[in-house]
Amino acid sequence: MDGIYLDNNATTRVDDAVVAAMLPFFTEQFGNPSSMHSFGNKVGLAIKKARMQVQELLGAEHESEIIFTSCGTESDSTAILSALKANPERKQIITTTIEHPAVLALCSHLEKEGYKTHFLKVDNKGRLDLDEYARLLTDQVAVVSVMWANNETGSLFPVEKMAEMASAVGIPFHTDAVQAVGKVPIDLKNSKIDMLSLSGHKLHAPKGVGVLYLKRGVRFRPLLRGGHQERGRRAGTENSASIVGLGLACEQAMKHMHYENTEVMRLRDKLEAGILAKVPRAFATGDVDNRLPNTSNIAFEFIEGEAILLLLNKFGIAASSGSACTSGSLEPSHVMRAMGIPYTAAHGTIRFSLSRYSTEAEVDRVIQVVPEIIAQLRKMSPYWGENGPAEEPDKAFAPVYA
Amino acid sequence: MWDYSDKVKEHFFSPRNSGAMDDANAVGDVGSLNCGDALRLMLKVDPETETIQDARFQTFGCGSAIASSSALTEIIKGMSLDEALKVSNQDIADYLDGLPPEKMHCSVMGREALQAAVANYRGEEWKDDHEEGALICKCFAIDAVLIEETVRANKLSTVEDVINYTKAGGGCSSCHEGIEEILVKVMAERGESFNPHAVVAKPEEEKPAKMNNLQRIKRIETILDSIRPQLQRDHGDIELVDVDGKTIYVNMIGACSGCQMEAQTLQGIQTKLMEDLGEFVKVVPSRAGSYARAASHV
């Protein structure tokens, strides 16, 4: 086995068929789709096909609702900033405490420019309080931006319902669906979602391509001006090879949707149950009954995530962690803190995210390796005694400074 | 993935002296669960000679925290307590062939645990004297708390001031937005507002007329003297070796020598020399190969 990749929420392997479909667009199909000649025309047709493939996966009513961008982050920024510019008299934004930094950092930055952002809190399973949300929906709000699925825990938010609530009072609704697209069925034509962001590299398409879905009729102000591409809504020469790749990846995701929600989910459940059965003082975080089929986030108490990752890596296993040290910041993941996960566990959270390429043998191997790694690190931890946590860890280890 | 040196990886995968020590007579605990980093250093000290006979550690933390703890125990075994107290965090980092700037605090934690353990042995009380903030300047590993305190204490008002006082922002300059944010905040506390176009108050110096060689070298010495305190604060130093036309040869001493930031430090010194001399010069370490080694860390 050459490495077990369980970090598919970070990025995915590009599907072989997707690579093959892209290759001609670097060489013989190099034309600019805007050109009049036949070099450009064929590329234009290929992009049109890709647009329809994306439309199909999202269940969008019109293909013109699909705007190709460079990434999920660009789509998020475009959506939120457009809503603000289109509604200049409204100075409030509603989002959640556990968004991806693409939304969170933008909203925090906008606070410096005079906007008020309401960050909806979550409970210990990462669930929102819809009554709190309802109270905040006033005519002062320019946009609501809520993620469909959380990248760390996989927990799903009721975005369709939240979009209806926003729509009822005339507030545009955006969802960052980067983790959800391709893993959960989406039917935008029958929803009140106005804008949706997706990212190619999360669903076996290449990095550097994304989509902003913009419901027909929603007031829009472009982020990039300077050309007629994407009907003037996103200027800049099309990344044609990647767009073609994303189109095919969406078609493939549609085909594998059932597999993702049965077989991938079974493997994920087996992995999680297998680890929790063997490792004491460990638990799954998030809304475990309502989450993406591929994601499991496990907190291991009294040890630190980066150390776990380094040892996993030694065994060829790739995962990720919400620990402070992996990011270079001093605080553990904002998602774990928002859910009130105690520090004893937040630093030791590990996210395993599977894909349709994950195998039973890989899962078995991880179940075998993880307990040894955890035991090895706990042996080194001052918070861990012979066979369990030190009695009252805070007292057993009370350093001079805290 | 962090760019850890082979030595860091080696000490992480096979830590030396890890685990509890039953007969320790000096114990230093630093860090906390909240910080995500905690280290207990246990020493067996010979009461006659004050020699460290054995050292063990228990660490809750990331790869570099565990490697730093392991390195620390190896360094101090056999030392007297007084010798051990002279071990700086840079010594720990050097022993591991350098640490990424974001991880330098792991070596600081090691040195603090050592101070705490010695204080514990001597029945003294050890107090941590620093607080850590989010890392702002990645080139020189300077955090927000240090910048904020320096801005407050010295009433700084420009990014250039911050660079001169803390080195933060003096490298790649990507963190200037973060530094400006700190200036905005601290200046607001004293009722001022940050002006990005403020001109740095620099006394108008007359462009020196063509200097002779001796004047020029003396001038270079004076400039290096003005930089020296910053280097000494990091347990390093610099000496002038030779001046050959536009090339200035220097020796980096102490912690500066082989420091992973050496190349950037030299770059900063070169910029300062060019500004003050009003001419283009090149600063080159006289020790052969030291540049190459420094470059491999950056």
Please report the residues numbered 266 through 305 in chain A whose beta carbons come closer than 8 angstroms to any beta carbon of chain B.
Answer: 302-305
CATH number of B6-121: 3.90.1010.10
Q: Which residues of A touch B18 (CB under 8 A)?
A: 379-380
Query: pLDDT tens, A151-185?
Result: 999 999 999 999 999 999 999 999 999 999 999 99
Does the distance separating the beta carbons of A303 and B60 come in below 8 Å?
yes
DSSP one-letter code for B143: E
3-class secondary-structure state, position A368: helix
Residue at A202: amino acid letter:
K
Residue whose C-alpha is closest to residue B276's, from B238, B248, B234: B248
Which amino acid, residue A56? E
B92, B71 Cβ separation under 8 angstroms: yes
B130-153 per-position pLDDT tens digit = 667 788 988 888 889 989 999 999
pLDDT at A393 over 70: no
Q: Mean of the pLDDT values across residues A118-133?
A: 97
Single pTM value for the model? 0.80
DSSP state of A200: G
What class, spelled out in words, does domain B213-297 have in CATH? alpha beta
The reported pLDDT for the residue numbered B293 is 41
Q: Which of chain A's residues have a Cβ under 8 Å away from the Cβ of B39?
A: 382
| DSSP notation for A223-280 | SS-SS-GGGGTS-S---HHHHHHHHHHHHHHHHHHHHIIIIIHHHHHHHHHHHHHHSS
Q: What is the model's pLDDT at position B256? A: 65
- The Cα–Cα gap between B10 and B22 comes to 26
Q: How confident is the model at residue A402 (pLDDT cuts 50, 70, 90)?
A: very low
Output the pLDDT for position A36.
82
Q: What residue ranges of chain B have pLDDT lower than 50?
A: 288-298
Looking at residue B268, its pLDDT comes to: 82
* Mutate which: B10, B30, B33, B145, vs A, most A CBs within 10 A: B33
pLDDT, mean over chain A: 94
% residues pLDDT > 70 (chain A)? 95
DSSP string, A66-100: EEEES-HHHHHHHHHHHHHHH-TT--EEEEETT--
| Interatomic CA distance for residues B243 and B221, integer angstroms | 11
Rounded to 5 degrees, what are φ and ψ at B83? -65, -45
Indicate yes or no: CB of A325 within 8 angstroms of CB of B36.
yes
CA pair distance A27, A7, nearest whole angstrom = 32
C-alpha distance from B123 to closest chain A C-alpha (Å): 14
Between the alpha carbon of residue B74 and those of residues A382, B18, B36, B79, B92, the distances in Å are 19, 11, 23, 10, 10
Residue owning tokens 């030396």:
B16
Instruction: Give me the CATH topology for the region B135-189.
Output: Arc Repressor Mutant, subunit A (1.10.10)
Q: What stretch(es) of chain A map to CATH 3.40.640.10?
A: 16-253
Q: Which CATH architecture has domain A16-253?
A: 3-Layer(aba) Sandwich (3.40)
DSSP B260-297: TTHHHHHHHHHHHHHHHHTS--EEEESSTTHHHHHHHH
The sheet with strand A173-176 has its strands ordered as A66-69, A210-214, A195-199, A173-176, A141-145, A92-96, A116-120
Q: What token pair was written down for B70?
A: 């392991």
**Pairwise CB contact (< 8 Å): B126 & A400:** yes
Domain ranges of chain B: 6-121, 135-189, 213-297
The per-residue pLDDT for range B239-251, each reduced to its tens digit, is 888 888 888 888 8
Which residue type occupies B245?
Answer: G
Residue-level pLDDT at B295? 43
Look at the block and give the residue holding tokens 């607080």.
B131
Fold of the domain built from segment(s) A257-392: Aspartate Aminotransferase, domain 1 (3.90.1150)
DSSP labels, B83-100: HHHT--HHHHHHHTT---
What secondary structure letter does DSSP report for B102? G
Q: Quick check: B133 and A324 CB within 8 A?
A: no
pLDDT of residue B209: 61
Beta carbons of B238 and B251 less than 8 angstroms apart: yes
Nearest CA in chain B to A304: B61
**Digit-coded pLDDT (tens) for A184-229:** 999 999 999 999 999 999 999 999 999 999 999 999 999 999 989 9
- Rank A142-146, A382-386, B217-221 by mean pLDDT and report only the highest: A142-146
In which element (H, E) is residue B40 found? Answer: strand B37-46
pLDDT in tens, A62-77: 999 999 999 999 999 9
Determine the length of chain B: 298
Task: For residues A363 and A318, give the distance between their C-alpha atoms in angstroms, rounded to a whole number.
Answer: 12
Residues of A in contact with B40 (CB under 8 A): 382, 397
* Cβ of residue A393 closer than 8 Å to a chain B Cβ: yes
For residues B126-148, one letter each, b for 16 or more C-beta atoms within 10 angstroms of the residue's C-beta and e for the rest, the string is: beeeeeeeebbbbbbbbbbebbb
Query: What local confidence, expressed as pLDDT, does residue A392 receive?
Result: 63
Distance from CA of A230 to the nearest CA of B (A): 32
Mean pLDDT of A50-62: 98
**What are the residue ranges of CATH 3.90.1150.10 in chain A?**
257-392
What's A319's DSSP letter?
-
What's the pLDDT tens digit per position in A264-320? 999 999 999 999 999 999 999 999 999 999 999 999 999 999 999 999 999 999 999
Q: Which of B231, B235, B276 is nearest to B250 (CA)?
A: B231
